[in-house]
């Protein structure tokens, strides 16, 4: 049966999909950013327009009391999936369109929402655990008082921050490629989350290089009144696709 959906043309037309992913060299972390910038250069104006519009939408949603943050978390994978579809179109010689930002609402939306639910639940657990550690430290600080209490309070805050970092990293690993795997390869949400986690874990070295380079680029982008982020944010979005293409390309 022919697939007539313009956003979900069979991936096999471009390259074969390696379901388990593959381990790539550490230097590929830098290459992902270079290749993402090449995608950005094809339509810089459209990339910037999409990112500005996305930013406005998320700011508008986030100001809604309580529901705003929940909605943002649930919608993020949907918009992310749309950008992956836009990157695929560019990669295959097509064009990036404003409609790509909303393409996730037209394909596998329920599965993408499930990724958002997973992120929301895990985020709540992480926040609760961190609050428990920090709150316990504050209670002990009050009980001891004086310099000893202050030391306990500071130590508990540091432990809470370390706990958040330790738990947020694997959560990010599970979510990183999930939207792309769902909309481009028709994986179920649980399978997409598991696959994303394991390939990120297997490719820890290129991701380490990738993270260090992005950290430097974030500092550089902030220098000209933050205007550099108009380029960096689109490149960051496109780099998710270039990393996905590199790791899941068979052969």
Confidence of residue 81 (pLDDT cuts 50, 70, 90): very high
Backbone angles phi, psi at 212, to 5 degrees: -65, -45
Confidence of residue 223 (pLDDT cuts 50, 70, 90): confident
- Total Cβ atoms within 10 A of residue 199: 24
Per-residue confidence (pLDDT) for residue 14, from 0 to 100: 53
Q: How far apart are CA 175 and CA 193, in angstroms?
A: 6
Does residue 159 have a pLDDT over 50?
yes
- Provide, rounded to the nearest whole percent, the portion of the chain with pLDDT above 90: 66
Residue for token pair 């738990």:
167
Does residue 131 have a pLDDT over 50?
yes
Does residue 172 have a pLDDT over 70?
yes
Let me know if 13 is exposed, middle or buried by CB neighbors in 10 A (0-12, 13-18, 19+). exposed
Task: Give the residue among 80, 65, 86 at the shortest CA–CA distance from 113.
Answer: 80
Sign of torsion, CA 54 90 212 180? positive
Could you write out the DSSP letters of every residue in 135-187? Answer: HHHHHHHHHH-HHHHHHHHHHHHHHHHHHHHHHHHHHHHHHHSHHHHHHHH--
Per-residue confidence (pLDDT) for residue 4, from 0 to 100: 43
The phi-psi region of residue 66 (left if phi > 0; otherwise alpha if psi is between -120 and 50; otherwise beta) is: left
Give CA separation, 239 vs 43, 77, 80, in Å. Answer: 15, 16, 12
Selection from 15-29, 32-46, 134-148, 221-235 with the highest mean pLDDT: 32-46
Confidence of residue 143 (pLDDT cuts 50, 70, 90): low
Q: How far apart are CA 103 and CA 243, in angstroms?
A: 21
* Collapsed DSSP state (helix, strand, coil) of residue 68: helix
H-only helix segments in the chain: 28-42, 44-62, 67-91, 109-144, 146-176, 178-185, 189-202, 204-222, 229-248
85-89, 95-99, 142-146: least confidently modelled range: 142-146
**Average pLDDT of every residue of the chain:** 87
pTM to 2 decimal places:
0.86
Confidence of residue 8 (pLDDT cuts 50, 70, 90): very low
Let me know if 39 is exposed, middle or buried by CB neighbors in 10 A (0-12, 13-18, 19+). buried
């Amino acid at each position: 049966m022919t697939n007539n959906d313009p956003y979900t043309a069979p991936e096999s037309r471009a390259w074969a999909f390696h379901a388990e992913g593959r381990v790539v060299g550490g230097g590929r972390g830098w290459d992902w950013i270079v290749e993402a910038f090449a995608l950005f250069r094809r339509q810089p104006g459209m990339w910037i327009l999409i990112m500005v519009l996305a930013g406005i939408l998320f700011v508008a949603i986030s100001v809604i009391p309580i529901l705003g943050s929940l909605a943002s978390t649930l919608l993020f994978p949907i918009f992310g999936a749309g950008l992956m579809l836009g990157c695929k179109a560019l990669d295959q010689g097509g064009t990036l369109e404003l409609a790509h930002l909303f393409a996730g609402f037209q394909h596998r939306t329920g599965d993408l929402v499930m990724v958002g639910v997973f992120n929301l639940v895990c985020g709540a657990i992480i926040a609760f655990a961190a609050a428990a550690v920090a709150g316990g430290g504050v209670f002990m600080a009050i009980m001891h008082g004086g310099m000893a209490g202050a030391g306990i309070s500071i130590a508990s805050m540091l432990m809470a921050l370390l706990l958040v970092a330790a738990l947020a990293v694997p959560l990010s690993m599970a979510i990183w490629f999930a939207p792309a795997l769902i909309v481009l390869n028709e994986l179920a949400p649980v399978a997409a989350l598991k696959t994303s986690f394991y390939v990120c874990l297997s490719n820890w070295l290129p991701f380490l290089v990738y993270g260090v380079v992005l950290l430097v680029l974030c500092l550089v982008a902030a220098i000209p009144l933050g205007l550099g982020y108009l380029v960096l944010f689109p490149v960051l979005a496109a780099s998710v696709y270039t990393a996905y293409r590199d790791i899941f390309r068979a052969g």
